[in-house]
Amino acid sequence: MDRLRRTRQRELVLEVVRSTMDHPTADWVHRQARRRLPRISLATVYRNLKRLAAEGLIREMHAGGQGTRFDGNTGEHHHVRCLGCGRVNDLPLSVDTRREEAAARALNFRVLGQQVEIQGLCPQCQDAADDANRNNSRQFPRPRPGRGQAKEHDRT
Amino acid sequence: MDRLRRTRQRELVLEVVRSTMDHPTADWVHRQARRRLPRISLATVYRNLKRLAAEGLIREMHAGGQGTRFDGNTGEHHHVRCLGCGRVNDLPLSVDTRREEAAARALNFRVLGQQVEIQGLCPQCQDAADDANRNNSRQFPRPRPGRGQAKEHDRT
DNA sequence: ATAACTGCAAATCATTTGCAGGGGC
DNA sequence: GCCCCTGCAAATGATTTGCAGTTAT
């Protein structure tokens, strides 16, 4: 692997990802980074996010929808995701997955990690869903992971 | 929601997804479907996969890489994913996530579901990784979820 | 009859890449 | 000075959509 160089943009990207408990998308990181370095390009943000993840300084997360998200917390932990707006929060508890790992070994897998995600509706999306169901008949029926998420609430 | 109509292509898509324990991508479903209905379009496959998922007849899965995958098994169960080739297998065991769900409720989330995925290397990818590390120095270092998965082994 | 559904091609959207110049070390 | 890194624009690849012609009910 090439030697990692400390550039203004790389340090900024890392700082932005680490600055929040949310799990930002590349686009969000780009918007934040721009406030301090207006000429930073989205491509650079992507390249740095990928490189930082490869170096183990941040984590890439998939699941739940269209965009990849990044996590500044590299420790073992799990997540809650809002199926309404896509927001992801940390869950500090650990899960016992010994049985899963045993099963995986039975399939001859070499176990390297795990991922636990609880899915639901955040308070704001519960309100939206309830409102919709009250007025109309069913604006927010059986929400499920995947396509068609609403725009995420703004983060500070 | 519009009334669901039984068309040749919709029934075929459902049948293909249910025909395997693997967790196929839209593209794979399309290739299989074509063997019986050569003129079926990829767009139709996508529309049907989405609709079938909305109806709860199949499940959409994200996580671990670029493509969305679909699961004909709608029961509560978890997965093992090979980080080398991207293949996903079922894990029949259940996990106790009560503490996680409690934590989510403490954040005022309305809990709707969960997802547990064990990540590792399947037997074939272990061999590939070991070979690579034996010959060269490090073809398969710190495999991690995300980008750059190898092509999946062919399925029957 | 009529609303769903289909194939096809064009359109989107997130992410990646080629290239020429710039900047860490 | 060397090579990694950057911005920009064009390229990709997965998924979606507009449209006009079917087809299920």
Q: What is the pLDDT of residues B7-23, one digit of tens each?
A: 999 999 999 999 998 89
- Per DSSP (E only), the strands in B35-109 are 59-61, 69-71, 78-82, 88-91
Q: What is the pLDDT of residues B91-103, one digit of tens each?
A: 877 777 788 888 8
Q: Which residue has the higher pLDDT, B127 or B88?
A: B88
Task: Sort out which chain A residues have CB atoms less than 8 A from B54's CB and list them.
Answer: 142, 144
pTM comes to 0.82
Q: What is the pLDDT of residues A100-148, one digit of tens each?
A: 788 888 899 988 888 888 888 888 888 776 666 665 443 333 333 222 3
Interatomic CA–C1' length for residue A83 and nucleotide D18, angstroms: 29
Angle formed by the axes of helices A26-36 and A42-54, nearest 10°: 110
- Per DSSP (E only), the strands in chain A are 59-61, 69-71, 78-82, 88-91, 110-121
Query: Which residues on neighbouring strands pair with residue B25, listed in sequence order?
Result: B69
Which residues of B, range 84-113, sit inside 8 Å of A by Cβ? Answer: 89, 91-93, 95-97, 99-101, 103-104, 107-113
Residue A7 reports pLDDT greater than 90? yes
Angle formed by the axes of helices A8-18 and A42-54, nearest 10°: 70
Which residues of B, range 34-73, sit inside 8 Å of A by Cβ? Answer: 50, 53-54, 56, 60-65, 68
Close Cβ partners of A103 (under 8 Å, ≥ 6 residues apart): B80, B91, B92, B93, B118
Q: Which run of H or of E encompasses A45?
A: helix A42-54
How far apart CA B15 and CA B150 sit, in angstroms, is 27
Q: What is the pLDDT of residues B68-82, one digit of tens each?
A: 999 999 988 888 888
Please tell me which residue of chain B has the smallest CA distance to A118. Answer: B114
**Residue found by looking up tokens 């009250």 in the block:** A134
Q: What is the pLDDT of residues A28-46, one digit of tens each?
A: 999 999 999 999 999 999 9
Interatomic CA–C1' length for residue B30 and nucleotide C13, angstroms: 22
Task: Confirm if B81 and B117 have CB atoms less than 8 A apart.
Answer: yes
